[in-house]
Structure 1
Amino acid sequence: MHFLFPNIVFLIIFVHGPSISVCADNEKYHNCGKLIECGNIRDIGYPFWGLGNTRPDYCGPPNFQLSCINHVLHITISSQDYRVLDIDVVKHELRLVRKDYWNNVCPHTELHNTTLDDMFSFFNYTLDTEYMTLLYDCKVKIGMLNYFNCSTSGRDTVNYFLTELITQNNLRKATAVHTSFYGNCKESVVVRVFQSEAMVLQNDTSSLKDKVIKAVSSGFGLKWDANNTLCDACEGTNGRCGYNPVSGEFVCYQNQDVRSSLRLSWAIGISVAVLGFFTISVVIFCIHKRKYVSSKVMVFWNKDKTEEFDVEAFIRNHISFAPKRYSYSQVKKMTNSFANSIGRGGYGCVYKGTLPDGHLVAVKVLKESKSDGEEFINEVASMGRTSHVNIVTLFGFCYEGTKRALIYDYMPNGSLDKFIFNQEFKNMPRSCLEWKTLYEIALGIARGLEYLHRGCNTRILHFDIKPQNILLDEDFCPKISDFGLAKLWLNEESIVSVIGTRGTVGYIAPEVFSRNFGGVSHKSDVYSYGMLVLELVGGRKNINARVHYTSEIYFPSCIYEDLELGRDLRVSGVATEEEKEIARKMVMVSFWCIQTNPSERPQMSKVVDMLEGDLQSIQIPPKPFLFSPPRSPQQYSTKS
């Protein structure tokens, strides 16, 4: 029993170690977990704070203080008081209206322009807003329809509104021109309105004052940025986002109660582990002793024999879904002694072959390996369970010593990457595939992945979705192939245990190479699919390894700018309105798929619905935070 003593001593020292005062930080953790509620606006957290002690000043930057007056939420920006009409914590957007212009365009207070000034570091106007200039106490101009009346000091005044885009740089000059044109108006003020409301004023001149009031009272949009990325990472570790009023820096508060309980759990766990290790050591000693006694009559499998035995046992145990097994001599015969090579890669070579019934097949002969055959068995096991029009058919396999081969249905058009990156079609533009065909390919891949994730009795995660693993038949119907990295999981499971990183650089979901982004699940395949579709749209790789290895250039960065600004996408081969809609739909769906947070990505069933539905029903997704560590040129073409 002497081995128990050091563990008990360790447990006492660990649990009763130096005492650390954590009361203050824990109070901040709990207070910053409270959410603001005022009127019909609820569940508002970081970066906002206020409302007495609901969320103290250490729960957000000073520019995000809220107040609740008569069940109405208010915020002050650049010394101007605003009513908060709505807060979208997902899009990081506010909808505001100036307090002095709420249901009123004839204010009796001193007039001020709507500006952000030094607040631009925190807030920016949304793209769907524009300036409106209001000119007060002007001379009457015959023929001018864009006017409204106000009653000031017992007299009626004529006032004008102008709906046009005015930037802050030329605001003073533009206002002076308008003032002169509209009869030396005495006062002018600039406010912000939504473009949709401004269009109503431009197109309908009846009941103008009411429409001007409605346009201004509908408010305008602001986007905020208050260390959003740091906060996402903090919440990913179950922390609470906050702010240090002294240093002016972002703070991530952690639950000290949980940490204290974890210390106790770790101590107990370590002690139990040491005890378990001792017990296992005794058992192993006994086993070795028995082996030594019976060594004259025991026969051990060598490494190669063990490998073959394991595979044979697997095939016997899973005969119900294992495809047909062929001998190596049969493989040589169906490929005419490997006469017609149609592909080559790090895995080995692919040959065109013919089955005895005349059916054309592609035979992937793997390089000789002394491994335990896990990747090979993965592919046989995964594909043996599938039957779908968008999954390539595995007719059989060969496993004979170190000889391994997989026999697929022959795809005459090869892999998708040849059409995207013009590897074999250098004299043909990417538009040799029509946009309708590109759309059908994207939809087919989505249906195939939906089947893998939901259609099988056992879900299958592919973990290596990329253009090279999408094969095209004679009608360009896409087929998902190469299940070497696939993993089987049960329907009721949501998170998958994965050791190491699986996939190919440029398509790997963030959570696969770093668990700080979340758990690995079917959403990891969704991310890879999104990156594939972006390459399908752009006709180029998302990562350009030849530009700068230390600062990778992503294709999605420039295409998202077009999407956000409502411009025509910078992609080639788009001519008709139908093609523009197809390209835009594919881009919007793909950006939803590559969201950094796995929970924000749609399931593949939702992806299929979005692709099959109307473009107008798809919301513009948030801009993903694209990240990948620096890599050498060799790493870009190597599987992790």
Structure 2
Amino acid sequence: MVVILLGMIAIFFGIRKRKLHKLREKFFEQNGGVFIKQKLKAPGNGRGGYGVVYKGILPDASVVAIKKSKLVDAAQTKQFINEVMILTQVIQRNVVKLLGCCLEEEAPLLVYEFISNNTLFHHIHHRAGGMGWLSWNNRLRVALEVAGALAYLHSETIMPIIHRDVKSTNILLNDNYTAKIVDFGASRLVPLDHDQVTTLVQGTLGYLDPEYFYTSQLTDKSDVYSFGVVLAELVTRQKPLCAKRTEEEKNLATYFVKAVKENRLFEIVEPRVLREGTLDQLQGIGDLIKRCLNLHGNDRPTMKDVAIELEGLKKFKNIHPWGQQQTHEESRSLILEVEQGDVTLIPYNTNESESSSGSTNIIFQENKPR
């Protein structure tokens, strides 16, 4: 009787184990595991916003971020497969690390390094988030880190990668305020013999490249446009789209380009940027953003060129933008007046037409007696 009982228990657990194994195989196949295996073995291939992200603690006490798909369907599965395919061939300090994945559950899971310090969007647009550390130099540093990572994706991976959803909410910051690009579910690998791919339009309004929107032709210059919007956010501390702004100012990209063309850049940059940046830096960043936001992709710089220009702007000597002629007290007084709205900045060109160098002079007009 004991032997029979033990045998029945063994058979029961054996059947249960086989059922569990078949269920895991079903989920593995359903979540794209077979496809990933084939892709990773195929020659020429390296090793989103559609999930909920959890903070997880592993048995060794290390902290990770776990993304779980909200829904189980083919579109969700494709996004997760795509993210795995992209991140297994990327090793760059400013791109989030994919540590592993689990496809043997009903909803697939992706495991990343944990990035603790919220999004760049939070730090730009919520004063409690970013006021302390968001100096002009730190803004330049973060911009350079993101530009360098995108340049790496475009030109230094086995196959070029277009992120396709560059925005400030997809840039996280760690404890040291180092930038990390995340969410590669919408990204695309570009075959080496192509400079563009035709896709269904995907991205975020306010950041979306208008040329890509109208033609469905995705290129690396689409990321350049989106990054230009992020730069405009950093400089102005305004959101890409805002219904509360006037019709002319609703779209930040359009508003920024118009302001630069009309030599009104100094009217729209944030006071702290105006206070801490040099004149050369402000003119340089304004011109760079304008070129990134060009409606024609061929007229935009590459991300590598953008990174080089940002590196150059970082090296400018930190002299106050209003020149070396003023004394410290005069400069301090003028800064206070600018912040309090007592001085109007009226930029103008020395030539009637816009000069190729973008050189701009500033007139200080007092609005009330001193």
TM superposition score normalised by structure 1: 0.42
Provide the C-alpha distance between the structure 2 equivalents of 1:574 and 1:310, rounded to a whole number of angstroms. Answer: 47
Please point out which of 518, 539, 544 is paired with 2:237.
Answer: 539
The 1:434/1:484 distance shift into structure 2, 3 A limit, reads same
- Larger relative contact order, structure 1 or 2 (CA cutoff 8 Å, min sep 6): 2
In the alignment, is residue 308 of structure 1 matched against residue 29 of structure 2? yes
Distance 1:582 1:406, change over 3 A: farther
Match of 2:66 in 1: 363
Q: 1:315 Cα shift? A: 2.9
Change in 2 beyond 3 A, CA 1:533/1:505: same
Aligned counterpart, 1:591: 290
Quick one: structure 1 residues 354 and 581, their matched pair in 2 at CA, closer, same or farther if it must change by over 3 Å?
A: farther
Paired position in structure 1 for 2:147 = 446
Matched, 1:349 2:349: no
Q: Conserved in 2, the CA contact under 8 Å of 1:563 and 1:569?
A: no
Q: Is the 8 A contact 2:27 2:105 kept in 1?
A: no
Q: Write out aligned runs for 1:397-476 (5 A).
A: 397-422=101-126, 425=127, 427=128, 430=131, 432-476=133-177
CA distance in 1, matches of 2:264, 2:213: 34
Q: Determine if the alignment matches structure 1 residue 485 to structure 2 residue 183.
A: no
Task: Identify if the C-alpha distance between structure 1 residues 556 and 524 changes in structure 2 by more than 3 Å, giving closer, same or farther.
Answer: closer
User: Which structure's CA Rg is the greater one?
Assistant: 1
CA distance in 2, matches of 1:571, 1:494: 35
Which residue of 302, 306, 310 corresponds with 1:611? Answer: 310
What SS does the corresponding residue of 1:444 show, helix, strand or coil?
helix
Partner residue in 2 for 1:396:
100
Q: CA deviation at 1:428?
A: 6.0
* Conservation of the 8 A alpha-carbon contact between 2:197 and 2:217: yes
Q: State whether structure 2 residue 251 is matched by structure 1 residue 554.
A: yes
Residue 494 (structure 1) aligned to one of 181, 188, 195:
195
Q: Distance in 2 between matches of 1:492 and 1:579?
A: 43
- Compare 449-458 and 483-492 and name the one that shifted more: 483-492
d(CA) in 2 for partners of 1:406, 1:574: 38
1:510 matched residue in structure 2: 210
Change (3 A) 1:357 1:455: farther
Q: 1:314 to 1:528 in 2, by over 3 A?
A: same
Aligned-partner Cα distance in 2 for 1:434–1:552: 25
The verdict on how the C-alpha distance between 1:467 and 1:391 changes in structure 2, with shifts beyond 3 A counting, is: same
Check whether the contact 1:545–1:552 (CA below 8 A) recurs between aligned residues.
no
8 A contact 1:458–1:490 mirrored in 2: yes
Mapped partners of 1:355, 1:563: distance in 2: 50
Q: Distance in 2 between matches of 1:487 and 1:519?
A: 12
Report the AA paired with residue 311 of structure 1.
G
Cα distance between partner residues in 2 of 1:537 and 1:419: 13
The structural deviation recorded for 1:510 is 1.2
Q: 1:608 to 1:368 in 2, by over 3 A?
A: same
Return the offset for 1:351.
1.7
Whose strand fraction is larger, Structure 1's or Structure 2's?
1
Whether contact under 8 Å (2:55, 2:64) holds in the other structure is: yes
- Aligned equivalents of 1:501, 1:468: Cα separation in 2: 19
1:522, distance to aligned residue in structure 2 (A): 0.8
Segments of structure 2 that go 5 or more residues without pairing to the other structure are 1-24, 317-355, 360-370
CA drift at 1:589: 1.5
Q: Is the 8 A contact 2:64 2:112 kept in 1?
A: yes
Deviations 1:285-322 (A, max 9, x none): xxxxxxxxxxxxxxxxxxx9598257122232245688
The answer (yes or no) to whether the contact 1:471–1:478 under 8 Å persists in 2 is yes
Cα distance in 2 for residues equivalent to 1:586 and 1:360:
37
Residues 428 and 311 of structure 1: CA distance in aligned 2, closer, same or farther (over 3 Å): closer
- Residue 87 of structure 2 aligns with an amino acid whose one-letter code is M
Q: 1:489 and 1:429 mapped to 2: Cα distance?
A: 36
Residue 526 of structure 1 aligns with an amino acid whose one-letter code is: V
Structure 1 residue 578: Cα displacement: 3.7
Q: Is the 8 A contact 1:368 1:402 kept in 2?
A: no
Distance across 1 between alignment mates of 2:220 and 2:122: 27
What is the Cα-based RMSD across aligned positions, in Å?
A: 3.2
**Distance (Å, rounded) in 2 between the aligned partners of 1:416 and 1:505:** 17
Higher helix proportion (structure 1 or 2): 2
Whether the 8 Å contact between 1:592 and 1:600 is mirrored in structure 2 is yes
- Check conservation: 2:241, 2:251, Cα contact below 8 A: yes
From the superposition, tell whether residues 594 and 397 of structure 1 become closer, same or farther in structure 2 (CA, over 3 Å): same
Describe the SS at the equivalent of 1:514. helix
Aligned counterparts of 1:322 and 1:400: Cα–Cα separation in 2: 23
Separation (CA, whole Å) in 1 of partners of 2:32 and 2:46: 12
Deviation of 1:596 (Å): 0.4
